[in-house]
Amino acid sequence: MTWNDTNLQRALYRSPLRHPLTGRLMVVVLGTLIVFGTLISTLNLFVNVIQGYRVYLMAQALAVLVSVPALLILWYLDRRERESPWIFVGLILWGAVIAAAYALLINTAGGMALMMAISDDSALQAEIESAGSDIESVGSIFVALLIAPPVEELAKGLALLLIFWFLRSEFDGVRDGIIYGALVGLGFNMLETAQYIVNIYALTGSAPYLQQIAARFVFLGLDGHALYSALFGAGLGLALQTSRRWLKVLAPVGGFSLAVLAHLVNNSLTAVVFVVTLQAFGLEYGTDAGLAEAAVMPIWFTYAVATVLTQFPFYFLIAISIYFSGLWEQKTIRDELSGEIGSSITPQEYELLLREPLCGLRTVPGYPDGVAREIVNAQNELAFRKWRVKNEGNDPEKDSLVRAWRRDIELLRGRQIPLPPETAGLA
C-alpha cells in the first residue's frame, strides 16, 4: 500500500473518532445536520417560489462552475503535503449544506424577533417612519450588521474546529488553516449565491445569474466568505504552529474576531462604497431586485474597487500569513529531513530541497512525475509529523506514524520492506 490508500487511517491517527462510540456518534450528528440542513435549504426554495427549482439548479450549477478556479488555486497552495480530497469535499459540503442552511435559519429567526420588537415600540416605529424607512428595511440592516456576521462565521468555523479537534494530524499550521477556511467559505458562497438568485427571481420574475456571480465572485471566489473563514483558519493554524501558550489561546480568538470584523465591513462599508462607486458611473439600483437590471461589467468593476478599498487589510494579513507560513514550512521540512539523509531522502534530493523555491515544489530525479510527487509528499508529511511529535515533547523514533511514512517512501522507491507490527493499520 502507499500513502494514498491509508489517508483516512492517518487522518484519524490518535483521534477521538477512532473510538467506536465517538465515531458512531459523530456520524449520527453529522448525518442529522446534513439532513435538516438540506430540508431548510429546500424549504427556503419552495417558500420563495414553488416553480423556481430550475432557476435554483441553474444558479447552483453556475456557482459551482465559477468556483473551480478558486479550488485549483487552493489545491496548488496545498502542494507541499496534499490533504485527502475527501477533506476538500467535506469542507465544501459543510459550508454549502450545513453552515449556509443553519445560518439562514438563525438569521431569519433573529430578523423576525427584531422586527417584532420594533413593532411593539410605537415610539421607535414613529422615528423609523419619520426617517422615510420601514420596519422591514431597518430589520434587514440590523440582521446584516449585528446578526449575520457572527452567526455565519460561527456556522462555518465549526467545521474548522472539528478538524482542529478530531483530525489534528491533518492540521499542520497556518497554511492548512487558510486553505480549510477558504474551502468552507467557498461552499457557503456557492449555496448562498443560488439562494440570492432564486429569492430575487421570486420578487421580480427575473433571475440575475451573471449579476450575482459578478458581485459574489469578484476575485474568482477567493473573497467574501472564503476570505472571512480563512482568517479564522489562520488563527487556528497559528495556535498549532506556535509554542507560546498565550498565543495558542489568543490566535484562534483573534482569527475569529477578524473574520467577524471583515464580514461586518463587507456588509456595511464595502456595500456603501459599492453603491457610491456605481452611482459615479451613472448607475443606480438601490435594492437586490434592482441588481437584476444592472450591467454585469460595472457591477464587477465597482465591487472589485469597493472590496480592495475597504478590505485591503484583511487580504494583506492573509498574504503575509501565506508567505511566512511558507517560510516556516520550508525551514521545518529542511530541519527535520536533515536527519533522514541517506534513508528517507538522498543527498541529491536534499540538495534540491535546499534550492526549492518558496512558490515551487522540488522533484525526485529518476522517477516518473506521479511517483516523484508522491515521494515528495511523503517526505514532507514525515517532516511535519516529526516536528509535531517533538513539539508535543515526545520522541519521533517511537512514533508509529513516523515509521509508517518512512516505509511509504521505501515502498514508493520500489523496496519492499516488511511492515512492523506496531504500524499495522497505518500503512
Res 224: pLDDT: 94
Q: Are residues 380 and 250 in the same domain?
A: no
pTM for this predicted structure: 0.84
Q: Are residues 108 and 236 in the same domain?
A: yes
265 secondary structure, DSSP code? H
Q: Are residues 154 and 63 in the same domain?
A: yes
Average pLDDT over residues 88-106: 90
16 secondary structure, DSSP code? G
In a domain? residue 225: yes
In a domain? residue 326: no
Q: Are residues 257 and 357 in the same domain?
A: no
Q: Are residues 91 and 227 in the same domain?
A: yes
Reported as a pLDDT band with limits 50, 70 and 90, residue 346 is very high
In a domain? residue 105: yes
Reported as a pLDDT band with limits 50, 70 and 90, residue 350 is very high
Question: Cβ distance 401 to 408 under 8 Å?
Answer: no
Q: Are residues 367 and 249 in the same domain?
A: no
Domain boundary among 264, 281, 300: 264
Q: Are residues 258 and 136 in the same domain?
A: yes
Q: Are residues 47 and 188 in the same domain?
A: yes
The more confidently predicted of residues 312 and 53 is: 312
| Mean pLDDT value across the chain | 84
CA–CA gap between residue 121 and residue 260 (Å, rounded): 29
Long-range CB pairs of 106-113, under 8 A, 24+ apart, other chains included: 106/147, 106/151, 106/155, 107/143, 107/147, 107/148, 107/151, 107/152, 110/143, 110/147, 110/151, 111/139, 111/140, 111/142, 111/143, 111/147
Most confident of 14-23, 107-116, 130-139, 318-327: 318-327
Structural domains counted in the chain: 2
What are the Cα distances from residue 345, in Å, to 40, 79, 281, 336, 338? 52, 18, 59, 11, 9
Res 297: pLDDT: 87
Question: Cβ distance 409 to 363 under 8 Å?
Answer: no
SS3 content of the chain, % helix, strand, coil (to 5): 80, 0, 20
Q: Are residues 30 and 149 in the same domain?
A: yes
Q: Are residues 107 and 246 in the same domain?
A: yes
In a domain? residue 328: no
Reported as a pLDDT band with limits 50, 70 and 90, residue 1 is very low
In a domain? residue 415: yes
- The helix or strand, by DSSP H or E, that contains position 153, with its residue range, turns out to be helix 148-166
Residue with cell 534513508: 343
b/e 251-288 (16+ beta carbons within 10 angstroms → b): bbebbbbbbbbbbbbbbeebeebbbebbeeeebebeeb
In a domain? residue 335: no
Domain range for 397: 341-423
Q: C-alpha cell of 80?
A: 507541499
Average pLDDT over residues 262-286: 84
Q: Are residues 234 and 379 in the same domain?
A: no
In a domain? residue 317: no
Question: Cβ distance 401 to 424 under 8 Å?
Answer: no
The more confidently predicted of residues 369 and 186 is: 186
Q: C-alpha cell of 297?
A: 461589467
CA–CA gap between residue 22 and residue 254 (Å, rounded): 30
Cα 223 from chain centre: 11
In a domain? residue 314: no
Q: Are residues 232 and 359 in the same domain?
A: no
In 242-346, which ranges are continuous DSSP H helix?
245-265, 271-280, 288-291, 296-337
* Radius of gyration, CA atoms only, the chain: 24
